[in-house]
Amino acid sequence: MQLLPGNIELSQNPFEKVIWNKLRTELKEDDGILGYKIPSLGLNDSTEIPSFIYRSKQYGIIVIDIVPSKIIKFEDDYEYWVKADGDEIYSRDYIINNYCNDITNKLSKSIKLYNKKTGNFLFCKDDKPVKSLIIFPDNGSGDFVKCEFISKYLDKNYPVTIKEFIKSCKTNDINQEQIDDIDSILEGTSVFNKKRERISEEKKTRNDLIKSSLLQTFKLDSTQRSVALQVPNGPQRIRGLAGTGKTIILSMKAALTHISNEGFKILFVFNTQSMYNQIKSNIEKYTIEEASKAPDWDRLLVLHAWGGRKKEGLYSFLCSQYGLSPKTLYETRNMSDPYQYIFSDFLSKKKDEIQPIFDMVLIDEAQDFPPAFFETIYYITKEPKRIIWAYDEFQSLNELKISDPETLFGTDKDGNPNMSNDSIKGQYEDGIDKDYMLPNSYRNPRKVLLYAHGLGLGLYSERAKVPMQDKYSWEARGYEIIQPRDKNKFEENDHIVVERPEKYSKNILEKLVDEHSKFSSNDIIKFKNFDTIKQELDSVIKTIRYLINNDKIEPEEIVVISLDKSSANSHFNYIRTNLNSYGVLCITPGFVESSDLFKEKGRVTLTTAFRAKGNEANIVFVINSQKAISDSTLRQRNALFVSITRSRGWCYITGNGPDAVKLKKEIDAIDNDYPKFEFDFPSESDYTRRLQIISESDKSLSNKEKTIDDILSEDVTLALLIEKAKGDPETFERLKKLMGI
């Protein structure tokens, strides 16, 4: 059974925790979900939400309410109940009946659950889809002899009879498709389901297959549900692969907290500018679905981390609040980490004046932000520091060694960490985890994801192998360790075999392709190498035209990503000009159009890996992929991973020149072992050296790489470097150790 304790630790009802623990014990063997005041069904007043809602394949939907005080009499035809202290409360029976009717009405809109012709529900014996129980812990068995108006109730002897009541709710076994629909409706995630579109039954085109794979009922898996539907009483970290639903989860958490905590001021902050509309739309959809009204955007701020003249961001907002002139991107052009620079500057001037103004802060794309940003977030958040930060795993390779709270959130005046590492260990009261890992990938077909990991981590490369070093890191990301089974941490020359089971890849495109089409799932991701860049670009143009004309792919569902940043503009101009001559329009965000634009209707998107982050498309082309081979900083490996994982359908990787031939060898090896990886763990010196490289910021690496190139380009400076190293035994030994000599 899955528990969703919500904010039960804040409950003022003394009996709720006792009965919650009783239910946990009685139902622990059942495959169901027990929630505290979840779902809210948009009710702002938490007193109008019953204490517990239970969903089970075996027992259906059961609502249980706990009356916190002894009831001594009833007035106005049982509409008001009088407590022992003389105060009145509105009938809990009326309230619970209304709540159950609301659920019933929602369920009746599903053709999988309700037969509109007969007027019967398809998943319950007695056509009553929601059962209810009211418990009076302070009343004796004789108090309600004449109270037949109450549907079902239990008195202070409830510990004996509560299990009997639940057993009496036994229903027909509900099938998985119905359970998925019930969960989607109760959670409110049905609002994120794709609108039904006309799709060929024969699924003749790639477009038909992709849209069929996207038409699954969207429901939260158990981990997502635990994260999205609970409000932690303090900090919480969420980690997961690209496509595991972190943005939707954070959007739901923001909306639910906003709905149920009217006095809260909430901040949602992110880095990729093109995600702004998507995040606001997610929050708005869910709020309207749950509360039947739009969000109050004065109480729920959605801000880009920086902001500027045209659109406010967190940094510009804070500068405005504290009377500072915000620095521009141009002013930070020479800084190795612009975010670290601007937030450090802000803290140096205003740290002692900062007042906490937000009750909850949600951070998406946390991997993109430096310590000064997190420290600022700490100071602007009220106690108990409800800061929820979500990382996209492998959006940066340096996440192989993820920063802990003590590193991120700064220190107090005495030098003690503002947030200890222990603050995200274990659970809050009643089972809310402080640190979540999301293993399931919804965006990418399994083969696409394995290509991305194999290439990004360089598992089959000669000079770029940086695999995850421990069993937990692999398993948390949806892999199973086949070999070695008896080790938690891997060492030099260990022969590693890992597999990604189908159960952790929720994108069903591969299955649809093999079972219902002329295509082969082997071709969902393909690599082609060319002698010249012109041949490569011409091939991409030809394939795009074919996909649009023959497979009916909408242009906005095609994204072309280049790894060659220095030549991207000219390559995009070539593609754009040629496609335009055939009547296919394009956009190039950040080059011609605004960087906020992405996937404009009727236009192919041409972009870089950096600008593609946070977005996805049915068809992705990755051009100039050979750049990943020659890059000693490993940044292009990371860019290749990010680019491939934008695809929720087919992915075409292309490259040119000798390095493309080397890349093909890696890809052939990945393809040969699919759905497994098989490799030897690298030497300690190689692994340590590569971790040091990827832990540096992009700008810092660029500056150091330029310095090294300058040294290596002149014999004199190279000779001087060697002499200095030989003359300094300590430096010489460090070099030997790093080289593994």
Predicted local confidence at residue 314, as pLDDT: 97
The answer to whether 359 and 266 have CB atoms below 8 angstroms apart is yes
What is the DSSP code string of 659-675? HHHHHHHHHHHHHHHTT
Name beta bridge partners: 32. 56
Answer yes or no: is pLDDT of 571 > 90.
yes
The model's pLDDT over 604-625, given as tens digits with 9 standing for 90+, comes to 999 998 888 778 899 999 999 9
Which pTM does this prediction carry?
0.68
Measured distance CA(100)–CA(41) in Å, rounded: 10
Answer yes or no: is pLDDT of 400 > 60.
no
| pLDDT class of 382 with cuts at 50, 70, 90 | very high
| pLDDT class of 199 with cuts at 50, 70, 90 | very low
φ, ψ dihedrals at 500, nearest 5°: -100, 110
Backbone Cα Rg of the chain? 29
Length of the chain, in residues: 741
CATH node for 222-431: 3.40.50.300
CATH node for 2-187: 3.40.1350
Predicted local confidence at residue 438, as pLDDT: 80
The torsion defined by the Cα of 75, 78, 79 and 83, in degrees rounded to 10, comes to 60
At 686, is the secondary structure helix, strand, or coil? helix
Measured distance CA(251)–CA(565) in Å, rounded: 32
Averaged pLDDT, 631-652? 91
Predicted local confidence at residue 699, as pLDDT: 67
Counting beta carbons within 10 angstroms of the beta carbon of residue 229, is it exposed (0 to 12), middle (13 to 18) or buried (19 or more)?
Answer: buried
Measured distance CA(663)–CA(206) in Å, rounded: 27
Answer yes or no: is pLDDT of 510 > 90.
no
Measured distance CA(106)–CA(549) in Å, rounded: 41
The model's pLDDT over 215-224, given as tens digits with 9 standing for 90+, comes to 664 555 566 6
Predicted local confidence at residue 202, as pLDDT: 56
Name beta bridge partners: 154. 135
Look at 646 and 76; give whichever has higher pLDDT: 646
Topology agreement, domain 222-431 and domain 446-682: yes
Predicted local confidence at residue 241, as pLDDT: 74
State the Cα angle at 13 between 9 and 15, rounded to 5°. Answer: 95
Answer yes or no: is pLDDT of 698 > 50.
yes
Predicted local confidence at residue 561, as pLDDT: 97
At 262, is the secondary structure helix, strand, or coil? coil
Residue ranges of domains in the chain: 2-187, 222-431, 446-682, 697-739
Answer yes or no: is pLDDT of 151 > 70.
no
Q: Which DSSP letter does residue 173 get?
A: P
Predicted local confidence at residue 157, as pLDDT: 61
Look at 224 and 414; give whichever has higher pLDDT: 414
What is the DSSP code string of 570-597? HHHHHHHHHHHHTT-EEE-BTTTB-TT-
Measured distance CA(490)–CA(572) in Å, rounded: 43
Predicted local confidence at residue 148, as pLDDT: 46
Highest mean pLDDT among 174-188, 441-455, 583-597, 719-733: 441-455
Predicted local confidence at residue 480, as pLDDT: 94
Which tokens is 507 given? 């994108």
The answer to whether 408 and 376 have CB atoms below 8 angstroms apart is no
Tell me how far CA of residue 693 lies from CA of 440, 464, 698, in angstroms: 29, 11, 10
Task: Report the candidate in 38, 37, 40, 33 with the shortest Cα–Cα distance to residue 3.
Answer: 33
The CATH H-level (homologous superfamily) assignment of domain 446-682 is P-loop containing nucleotide triphosphate hydrolases (3.40.50.300)
Answer yes or no: is pLDDT of 166 > 80.
yes
The mean of the pLDDT values for the chain is: 86
Measured distance CA(714)–CA(721) in Å, rounded: 11
Measured distance CA(464)–CA(629) in Å, rounded: 8
Averaged pLDDT, 98-114? 89
State the Cα angle at 179 between 177 and 182, rounded to 5°. Answer: 115
Highest mean pLDDT among 18-22, 260-264, 390-394, 652-656: 652-656
CA dihedral for 42, 43, 45, 51, sign (positive or negative): negative
